[in-house]
Amino acid sequence: MGMTMTQKILADHAGLESVKAGQLIKAKLDMVLGNDVTTPVAIKEFKAAGFDKVFDKDKVSIVLDHFTPNKDIKSAEHCKMCREFAGVKDVTNFYDVGEMGVEHALLPEKGLVAPGEVIIGADSHTCTYGAVGAFSTGVGSTDMAAGMATGEAWFKVPSALKFNLTGKPAKWISGKDVILHIIGMIGVDGALYKSMEFGGDGLKYLSIDDRLTMANMAIEAGGKNGIFEVDDVTKAYLDERVDREYKIYTADSDAEYDAVYDIDLSALKPTVAFPHLPENTKTIDEVGEVKLDQCVIGSCTNGRLEDLEKAAEIFKGKHVAKNIRAIIIPATQKIYREAMKEGLFDIFMDAGCVISTPTCGPCLGGHMGILAKGERAISTSNRNFVGRMGHPESEVYLASPVVAAASAIKGYICGPDEI
């Protein structure tokens, strides 16, 4: 029996000819990632177990992005702990305020992840890097500590769901609509313990930014990882960023999948996930009247340049509705600068939006846009759980940047066609 793309990458990193779904393996790691919330717990574990050095100073990334610039004294203490650890251990890829970005936008941008690599991160959205054909998955702080110490992690080899993408998406349809559609279809545990493998003729219509959005939300379907076939779009993206050699894996023709789904991209409509689960999806024609208080465009899901460009297309010459707070968060310093150079900031400011420094901030209810009791936000982020963006009785609606922008202008959830 053949192997899936994920299984082939894991087999190679475990030094095995082949692996089967369900098999427990130890795999070598190409990158171990943590942020300012998860790394402090990992540092404590690392030290308590008596480890002295990280396994490879070039293969550890620590990004201070969640509660930065620090929102309070406790967060500042955590960042200080990370900063000191990175300094003492000589961690090459340490990103502090001024250089940082939202981790899952930053690592691909810096060329720190490449096809065929195995990456773990103490952040559930580490699955994002499957967009460039890597095996990449979220873990906890103790796994991060063990990974930093040994350069290895244990995995249960996942079985897989195959998503065969066909057709050309309509103008305003983006990766966010595709992945929300899929999560709505299979549910928040539809891919539990499994890999989600994306391919097909429709892939060529999805940009790297679209794919990063989709792989990012594999975890919202319970997936262990989401992974894309590597094509010319991927290679063009990597040519500008990755110098080292990498290996491109393809699934065997007789690879086994638990299920194969055909997704016709041309049939998709703008899609919104209602509170309080990403699976509660409705297409834009089904949403009814949902009045809003806040709009957030940013996060590791949709804070990339293409996301900001599309939002600006909608905001251009328009203004947000009265009493709507619209917060734009470019995900990295580079994206921030490029958006500024392209004149997007003028468009956003003329529309009455504010522009934040890169941060995870409001996505997880940290800072920079917390909701009061009874308030509603439309957000381009990835989770709409109870209390995710603030008060337990507030509500978060997940959507693409164009839907979020259009909704901010109208003051209620609507599609870009209404603008």
H-type helices in 283-354, by residue range?
A: 299-302, 305-315, 333-341, 344-350
Question: Which CB atom, from 195 or from 234, has the smaller least distance to other proteins?
Answer: 195
| CA quadruple 153, 157, 163, 165: dihedral sign | positive
Smallest separation, CB 26 to other proteins (Å): 9
Question: Which CB atom, from 48 or from 244, has the smaller least distance to other proteins?
Answer: 48
Smallest separation, CB 345 to other proteins (Å): 28
Question: Which CB atom, from 199 or from 361, has the smaller least distance to other proteins?
Answer: 361
**What's the angle, vertex CA 301, arms to CA 155 and CA 116, rounded to 5?**
40
Question: Which CB atom, from 12 or from 220, has the smaller least distance to other proteins?
Answer: 220
Return the structure tokens found at 36: 């300012």
Question: Which CB atom, from 220 or from 229, has the smaller least distance to other proteins?
Answer: 220
Smallest separation, CB 48 to other proteins (Å): 7
DSSP 372: P
Q: Report whether the peptide linkage leading into residue 276 is cis, meaning its omega lies within 30 degrees of zero.
A: yes
H-type helices in 207-304, by residue range?
A: 208-216, 232-239, 299-302
Smallest separation, CB 308 to other proteins (Å): 24
Beta strands in 185-311 (DSSP E): 195-199, 225-228, 259-264, 271-273, 281-283, 294-297
Question: Which CB atom, from 67 or from 345, has the smaller least distance to other proteins?
Answer: 67
> How crowded is the C-beta side of 88, counted as CA atoms within 13 Å?
11
**Strand, coil or helix: what is 287?**
coil
Question: Which CB atom, from 67 or from 336, has the smaller least distance to other proteins?
Answer: 67
DSSP 178: H
Looking at residue 332, its amino acid is T
Smallest separation, CB 268 to other proteins (Å): 25
Smallest separation, CB 337 to other proteins (Å): 28
Query: Residue 196 — φ and ψ, nearest 5°?
Result: -110, 115
Return the structure tokens found at 230: 């590597």
Smallest separation, CB 320 to other proteins (Å): 26
Which residues bind to other proteins, rule: CB under 8 A? 24, 37-38, 40-41, 44-46, 48-50, 66-67, 71-72, 74-75, 78, 122-124, 126, 138-143, 145-146, 149-150, 154, 188-189, 192-193, 219, 222, 224, 277, 364-366, 370, 383, 385-388, 392
